[in-house]
Structure 1
Amino acid sequence: MARTKAIVAGLACLLLVSACGVPMQKIPVSTDPLGATVYADGKKTCASTPCSVSLDRKSDHLLTIVKDGYEQEEIVLHRQFKPDKAIRDGFISGMILGDGPEGVASRTAKEVDEQERSGEAYVLTPSIVTIKLTPKGTGI
């Protein structure tokens, strides 16, 4: 009985920690040549590549890459639905708590819904940005 309570308490703590704040994802950005400035959704986020930008997973984002003497590049990062973790979390908590098949299914659906609303069920793609910058005036 004490073990079950400890497991339930541990799961509750994990749920509380994961529910705080907006889920973020670090996206490494590199350019050839190095030293470009990166803007995320119009805000300067990196003064010189290579670097990483931290973006919330609740929406798509536009990265703009600028370097004097080179064409400006824009990359759209799309959020992609990945419910695997939510399904696993709901299934495990339902099994640990001894729910029947309907309870496990209900917990799983609830977990997917919660992680979809929080943004936790999404990842941004591409997860790494590597750009070869085009010199201005080359017509390429």
Structure 2
Amino acid sequence: MARTIAAAVALFCLLAAFGCGVPKQKIPVSTNPVGATVYADGEKACGSTPCAVRLDRRADHLLTIVKEGYEQEEVVVRREFKPDRAIRDGLISGILKGGDPKGVASETAREVDEQERSGEAYVLTPSIVTIKLTPKGSGI
């Protein structure tokens, strides 16, 4: 009984820490000068820099930064696979289920696979975007 309660508490803590649904990452965006509009994958993401955009970790993204009188800038935000996070979570899950070493290994593999499919095993880079805008016609 105590083992079941401990497992339930640990699961609750993991869910509270990682949340549910599509994993998103907040990317702060700042420009010099301020006041640019940021588009993520062609859709307006924030109206005036500095701001932050929330992006799905399951895919790469293109940020387009626009300000009247300045050259448009584009930043590619790429996802990077972080297997250490998925392996750690799989080991915790396998150990909490009280499995033998084979069961723990199986649970770890299942968890890595699940987190890769859901996007939880990825982080987006760059994690902060800072752009110095170039005035139109400056030839720089």
So what's the TM-score if we normalise by structure 2?
0.91
Distance 2:15 2:35 in 1: 40
Distance 1:56 1:46 in 2: 15
- 1:101 matched residue in structure 2: 101
Structure 1 pair 80/7, CA: closer, same or farther in 2 (3 Å)? same
> C-alpha displacement at 1:96, in angstroms?
2.8
In structure 1, the gaps of 5 or more residues are none
Matched residue SS, 1:10:
helix
Matched residue SS, 2:93:
helix
- Contact residue 11 and residue 93 of structure 1 kept, 8 A: no
Matched residue SS, 1:130:
strand
Matched residue SS, 1:7:
helix
Paired amino acid for 1:27: I
> C-alpha displacement at 1:92, in angstroms?
1.7
> C-alpha displacement at 1:13, in angstroms?
4.1
> C-alpha displacement at 1:19, in angstroms?
7.4
Give deviations 1:93-126, integer Å, cap 9, x for gaps.
Answer: 2223332221111111100000000001001100
- 1:7 matched residue in structure 2: 6
Distance 1:111 1:92 in 2: 10
User: Percent identity at matched positions?
Assistant: 71
> C-alpha displacement at 1:16, in angstroms?
6.3
- 2:63 matched residue in structure 1: 63
Residues 1:131 and 2:118 aligned together: no
In structure 2, the gaps of 5 or more residues are none
- Contact residue 19 and residue 118 of structure 1 kept, 8 A: no
- 1:37 matched residue in structure 2: 37
Matched residue SS, 2:28:
strand
Paired amino acid for 2:122: Y
Distance 2:98 2:125 in 1: 37
> C-alpha displacement at 1:62, in angstroms?
0.4
Distance 2:59 2:97 in 1: 34
Give deviations 1:5-41, integer Å, cap 9, x for gaps.
Answer: 1122234446766573100100000000000000001
Deviates more, 1:29-38 or 1:15-24: 15-24
So what's the TM-score if we normalise by structure 1?
0.91
- 1:27 matched residue in structure 2: 27
TM-align CA RMSD: 1.7
